[in-house]
């Protein structure tokens, strides 16, 4: 049996890698990829806790399904926004999209 | 070290390699492919957690839809060849420090906490239980999720449309 903490460590590591991707990348699509990785880490956490705390209640899996649906919707809208920005400003580097800067 | 634990270590290694490749590779297309590797490894982890339905949904939606969408977006927003661009911005040391500190904090909590785990086998059909839960007690979030997907689809179409004039 795999100890629960192994899954949690993997999820924590993936979350921190995704967090670094969100904070440190210039490309807006790379930032979105980091967000998706963080959502995947949360899904691993949810599924692991669901399996190890209440195996027959399938609550963890239900939550993961909703999380995947929300992540897919957010990826679609975010990428559409990035495409619109690219079409307008010809760049997707977040450092060059500073129209609101004072 | 049982076979299951060895498989988990391999899958975890693949997931972490995919994640690190995603944030570190210079070519955006290659980092998207590394993300696909991480998604596949996470699907394998779902299989180890005896959530076979989640593994299939992960591959269908994350690899089949989200990763494909990201690859299309990468190809549609291709930087002009010859423009030298850095991949990391100017605050990457602080971000690395923040990520490492967060992992340290999470690790401390994980090691010290005692979770109320049970290691009984799953009885009954988990997929049937999943389906009954989704249309029974969680029917409202299920319908709201479908409305959310519809709204997101409309919003994405409107955002990505060509300007009209």
Contact A93 B85 (CB under 8 A): yes
pLDDT at B141: 94
Chain pair A-B, CB pairs under 8 angstroms: 239
Flag whether the ipTM exceeds 0.85: yes
pLDDT at A100: 84
- Compare CB distances from B73 to A29, A36, A71 and report the shortest one's residue: A29
Q: Which residues lie closer than 8 Å to A13 by C-beta, 6 or more apart?
A: A41, B16, B19, B103
Note the pLDDT tens digit of each residue in B86-121. 778 888 999 999 999 999 999 999 999 888 888 777
Q: Torsions phi, psi of A4, nearest 5?
A: -60, -35
Average confidence score pLDDT of chain B: 90
pLDDT at B20: 96
Contact A17 B122 (CB under 8 A): no
pLDDT at A6: 94
How sure is the predictor about B80, in pLDDT bands with cuts at 50, 70 and 90? Answer: low
Using CA atoms, how far apart are residues A40 and B20, in angstroms rounded to an integer?
14
pLDDT at B84: 58
Contact B74 A29 (CB under 8 A): yes
pLDDT at B87: 79
Contact A61 B53 (CB under 8 A): yes
Residues of B in contact with A7 (CB under 8 A): 45, 49
Q: Torsions phi, psi of B90, nearest 5?
A: -75, -10
Residues of B in contact with A75 (CB under 8 A): 66, 69-70
Note the pLDDT tens digit of each residue in A59-85. 999 999 999 999 999 999 999 999 999
Q: Torsions phi, psi of A95, nearest 5?
A: -80, -20
* CA–CA distances in Å: residue B87 to residues A30, A92, B27: 9, 12, 9
Judged against a pLDDT cut of 60, whether residue A18 lies above it is answered with yes
Question: Reduced to 3 states, what is the DSSP secondary structure of residue A63?
Answer: helix
Q: Tell me which of A92-96, A98-102, B1-5, B23-27 is least confident.
A: A98-102
- Compare CB distances from A61 to B77, B130, B158 and report the shortest one's residue: B130
Do residues B31 and A24 make contact, with C-beta atoms less than 8 angstroms apart? no
How sure is the predictor about B82, in pLDDT bands with cuts at 50, 70 and 90? Answer: very low
Q: Please state, for a pLDDT cut of 70, what percent of chain B lies above it.
A: 95
Using CA atoms, how far apart are residues B78 and A54, in angstroms rounded to an integer?
47
Q: Please state, for a pLDDT cut of 70, what percent of chain A lies above it.
A: 100
Determine the average pLDDT of the residues in B23-43. 94
Do residues B98 and A23 make contact, with C-beta atoms less than 8 angstroms apart? yes
Residues of B in contact with A6 (CB under 8 A): 5, 8, 12
Residue B143 in contact with partner chain A when CB distance is under 8 A: no
Model-level pTM greater than 0.90? Answer: yes
Note the pLDDT tens digit of each residue in B124-140. 888 999 999 999 999 99
Residues of A in contact with B66 (CB under 8 A): 36, 71-72, 75
Residue B121 in contact with partner chain A when CB distance is under 8 A: yes
pLDDT at A1: 82
* CA–CA distances in Å: residue B129 to residues A7, A10, A57, B35, B53: 23, 27, 8, 31, 11
Note the pLDDT tens digit of each residue in B55-77. 999 999 999 999 999 999 999 88
């Amino acid at each position: 049996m795999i100890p629960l903490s192994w899954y949690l460590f993997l999820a924590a590591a993936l979350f921190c890698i995704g967090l670094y991707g969100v904070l440190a990348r210039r490309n807006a699509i790379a930032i979105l990829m980091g967000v998706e990785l963080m959502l995947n880490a949360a899904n691993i956490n949810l599924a692991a806790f669901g399996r190890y705390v209440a195996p027959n209640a399938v609550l963890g899996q239900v939550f993961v399904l909703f999380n995947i649906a929300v992540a897919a919707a957010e990826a679609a809208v975010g990428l559409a926004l990035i495409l619109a920005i690219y079409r307008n400003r010809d760049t997707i580097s977040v450092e060059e999209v500073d129209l609101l800067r004072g | 070290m049982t076979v299951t634990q060895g498989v988990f270590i391999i899958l975890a290694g693949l997931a972490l390699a995919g994640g690190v490749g995603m944030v570190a590779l210079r070519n955006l297309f290659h980092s998207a492919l590394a993300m696909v590797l991480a998604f596949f490894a996470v699907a394998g982890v779902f299989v180890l957690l005896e959530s076979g339905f989640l593994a299939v949904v992960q591959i269908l939606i994350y690899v089949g839809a989200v990763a494909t969408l990201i690859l299309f977006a990468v190809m549609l927003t291709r930087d002009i060849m010859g423009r030298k661009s850095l991949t990391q911005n100017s605050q990457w040391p602080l971000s690395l420090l923040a990520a490492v500190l967060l992992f340290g904090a999470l690790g401390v909590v994980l090691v010290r906490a005692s979770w109320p785990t049970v290691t009984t086998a799953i009885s009954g059909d988990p997929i049937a239980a999943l389906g009954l839960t989704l249309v029974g007690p969680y029917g409202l979030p299920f319908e709201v999720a479908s409305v959310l997907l519809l709204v997101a689809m409309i919003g994405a179409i409107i955002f990505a449309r060509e300007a009209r004039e």
